Chain A
């Protein structure tokens, strides 16, 4: 069964600090890997989307990396802000299953002042 595992499950950081979230997946082959930010009570919002051949993608203070050989991805948040408090979800598109999305369990980030 294809899986997407994220770590840590939750994270508390001080405002202004950096943090890195991890995503390991078994989906293969995949079309793309995405990171979403989901605020409480809201739908997910896309941060980055990377194909197999891309190693890194940035969106402001968010930088995602992808190592397709080890099937690992990370999301780095630089200079965190209070508004970064949210769940961050790693999602892999399963090419063999018609690009069906496999969701990770998410990492809940809390930024404290």
Chain B
């Protein structure tokens, strides 16, 4: 159990376009989902925390108007990178936490975004 999927796994887009990444918890309901960004040879950096039905909480330095997060249901959160630029190229990873237990986060497989 506790499987998290992401779609797409890879995306290449032109500068100025918007890209949507989906994160789904497949076999559990996730009260909270997290979005991370990871640059090559660096560790994960938290971008935002989203709770179902409420606005996401963004980390300092993350532009909320550029990285739109929607957590419409207990199994789906989306991250939209608006007006993407080459510097947004990165590995985006989501995670989901399951209520109860040890508050463990289960990570998705990641989405590689390349902006040309």
Q: Which A positions have Cβ atoms within 8 angstroms of B?
A: 31-32, 34, 36, 41-46, 49, 51, 89, 93, 99-101, 103-106, 108
CB atoms of A51 and B91 under 8 A apart: no
Q: A32-B102, A51-B102, A99-B103 are in contact. Are A42 and B43 (CB under 8 A)?
A: no
Residues from chain B with Cβ under 8 Å of A42 in the complex:
109-110
Q: Does B67 contact A (CB under 8 A)?
A: no
Residues from chain A with Cβ under 8 Å of B103 in the complex:
31-32, 93, 99
Residues from chain A with Cβ under 8 Å of B35 in the complex:
none
Q: Which B positions have Cβ atoms within 8 angstroms of A?
A: 4, 6, 41-46, 91, 93, 95, 102-110, 112
A-B pairs, 7 with minimum CB distance: A43-B107, A103-B43, A43-B110, A43-B109, A44-B107, A43-B93, A105-B43
Q: How far is A36 from B95 in the complex, measured between Cα atoms in Å?
A: 13
* A-B CB contact pairs (8 Å), 22 listed: A31-B102, A32-B102, A32-B103, A32-B104, A34-B104, A43-B6, A43-B95, A43-B107, A43-B110, A44-B44, A44-B107, A45-B107, A46-B104, A49-B102, A49-B104, A89-B43, A89-B44, A99-B103, A103-B44, A104-B43, A105-B43, A106-B43
